[in-house]
Chains A and B, each alone.
Chain A
Amino acid sequence: MALELKNVTKRVGAEIHIHATSLVVEDGSFNILLGATRSGKTTLMQVMAGIQRPTSGEIWHHGKNVTGLPVQARNVSMVYQQFINYPMLSVYENIASPLRVAGLGEADIKARVGRAAEILRLTPMLNRKPSELSGGQQQRTAIARAIVKDSDIIFLDEPLANLDYKLREELRDELPRMLSGRNAIVFYATTEPHEALLFGGSTMTLHEGRITQFGKTSEIYREPNSLLSARVFSDPPINTARVAKKGKSISVQGGSTWPLTAEQAKLPDGEYDIGIRPHHVTTKKEAAVTGAVKGRVLVTEISGSESIIHVDTGGRTWVSQSHGVHPHKVGEQATLHADVAHALFFNQQGKLVA
């Protein structure tokens, strides 16, 4: 029980930035904060770090109440979206700065900086200034500075957002390796569900200042506790529809009737909201139990290996993501096949039931 938040809220003026939040996080865990912009990720991280003070509630770290402790007194480090480095210092000095503040000896500093630079592949650049480095290298310097001091908690606030797409992929691959072997708690904020899934670990989905779900990443992806959590954790957005279940089938808004799997048929009759992720809606019938989605093609996006087709089903737009190249013309009628077995059923109270 390394870090615990007890009913922490954050209010600025009349706005509530963080609603009452209670959280327990273990040492050595990799925790992802996933949510849209302005959902409260940065505020929550700053409150946990001690940069901002919670309006109410307590924060406990290793059994001690640290709520009132300013960030300088806590052993934390933070990496920002903008590459924040001391522009006048060399890369070596940048990485060494927290150690100098802590008053470590030169030999110790040299050893630690050398190790961090090696992990981040910065050794040939130690004598340069940040302005002479590329964006990716500047961010590595910031990360090196964060890991060199053996902090208890490391915060990364969308650190890859300002980097080129490919560079982002490369750093994302290396990040777990860079942070491994420590007992620190890592918090990583991002807006992309894809990134969360790539990292694994645990994820908390945020929406308008509330944590809607917290758990192992792949679990909360497969079993979102509400339609809201499912929405946060989907890109492209999850297809939703309101359905009425009767017996062994459901009638979907727009007229069609879809069969159900044996398990789903056991649900009580009534109204439900269903969510089906785009990659479970295909152009060819692939799954055993499918429902038909008929409509007019709005746009077809083809990347090298898959096709994303947007279909207007009379009011609602459904998005299908299929493997392979399926060039559909705009305006033509198309039928998509939704894999009902992978549909998420949410009852009237918004809870996942199947």
Chain B
Amino acid sequence: MARITISNLRHAYVPQPARPEDYALKRVDLDWNDGGAYALLGPSGCGKTTLLNLISGLLQPSEGRILFDDVDVTGKTPEQRNIAQVFQFPVIYDTMTVYDNLAFPLRNRGVGEEEIKRRVSAIGDMLELTPTLARRAAGLTADGKQKISLGRGLVRSDVNVIMFDEPLTVIDPHLKWQLRSKLKELQQRIKRTMIYVTHDQTEALTFADQVVVMNNGEVVQTGTPIELFERPMHTFVGHFIGTPGMNLLPCEVKGGKAYIAGHAVAAANAKLAASATGKLELGVRPEFVSFAKTGFAAEITRVSDIGRYKVVEARIKDLPVKLVVPEGEAIPEKQARLAFDPHHTQIYADGWIAGAPR
């Protein structure tokens, strides 16, 4: 278990990086506690896998340092860093049994057979692999194989951090949520530092205590799932997290108040935005838009019934707005009035939340 510090890290895949675009990973500084669950969330190509491979040692960074417990491990190999990694597709040793697969890392380190038996049984129990221990690993289903991959990381007692690189990619959709919960359960039980890379916000938000949202090689925001949901620092975070994503409406700020299409609307940071320049947008999540007696006049264009809630698409003048309506609540036919929750309405200037330091 280790505290992980990432300092001034940058990485380029080209040998002589000159311009900022050459860097796959632009400057990253992170500080993570021991035993926590972390997620790197972002779309394809945002640099999350690069960052993961730099932490695990499979890649050497172009610049910067990585420290485990204040010890500089930047030059060390993955084996020397004592990490474990679960890949996108199950990586198992086909010719060995499940037991031998789990014992493999211990045997390579010279651990005695008695101790191996004890640890493998414990891990097999935790992962519900006990009935299959004697079977050939190649015969298991995809989620069984991923559990073996995970198990190989868990059997070692000296593991500093366990990394997951989009581990649920090949799992059957109806088994995904099961394995996902299992991973969360394990993390809460054994409290080892775990880093989970994904493009799926549900996976990231349900697994991690702290989520690092990335885009284009940069960290956009780091925070708890609640922080990211309730107070996104950047419109990208607002858009990327939440189903559906945040509503963004162009607005103006005059005299300390925000105006959309001529109507005033209360925003949490309206006063701070008074001196903001650049493209101004008002962001409010569909969960915080509701039908009200007074408010913006809107026309309802589409209603989708998701079962536990409904997604209503409406238009204020010609600006599209989505709102989430709980099951059972009535929805007007065509015309309605919409209100935004002022505590959860923010003004963004050029993408960044107005008034907060970058």
Contacts and interface: CB of A to CB of B under 8 A. Distances in A.
A and B touch in the complex (CB under 8 A): yes
Interface of A: 36-37, 134-135, 164-167, 169, 173, 191-194, 197-200, 217-218, 221, 235-237, 277, 279, 298-305, 308, 310, 321, 323, 325, 330
Nearest to A165: B200
B308 interface: yes
Contact of B174 (A194, A235, A298): A235
Nearest to B198: A165
23 contacts: A36-B173, A134-B44, A135-B44, A164-B199, A165-B202, A166-B43, A166-B239, A198-B306, A198-B311, A199-B304, A235-B174, A235-B177, A279-B308, A301-B180, A301-B181, A301-B206, A303-B201, A304-B225, A304-B242, A305-B229, A310-B181, A325-B226, A330-B188
A193 B173 CA distance: 11
Interface string B219-232: 00000011011100
**Most B C-beta atoms less than 10 A away, residue of A192, A303, A308, A321:** A303
Contacts of B327: 279
Interface residues of B, number: 40
Interface in B176-209: 177, 180-181, 184-185, 188-189, 199-202, 205-207
A166 B199 contact: yes
Given A197-B306, A279-B307, A299 B205 contact: no
B21 interface: no
Contacts, number: 101
Nearest to A324: B226
Given A37-B172, A166-B43, A198-B306, A303 B177 contact: no
B158 interface: no
Given A169-B244, A197-B306, A218-B305, A303 B174 contact: no
Given A166-B245, A300-B184, A325-B226, 17 more contacts: A164-B199, A166-B201, A166-B240, A169-B245, A197-B305, A197-B306, A198-B311, A218-B305, A236-B177, A300-B188, A301-B180, A301-B206, A304-B228, A304-B230, A310-B181, A323-B326, A330-B188
**Most A C-beta atoms less than 10 A away, residue of B181, B205, B311:** B181
B contact patch SS: helix
A260 to B, nearest CB: 20
Given A200-B304, A277-B307, A303 B202 contact: yes
B241 interface: yes
Contacts of B307: 193, 197, 221, 277, 279
Contact of B189 (A217, A218, A330): A330
B243 interface: yes
Contacts of A323: 326
Given A37-B172, A164-B43, A200-B305, A299 B185 contact: yes
B242 A302 contact: no
A49 B243 CA distance: 34
Contact of B225 (A37, A192, A303): A303
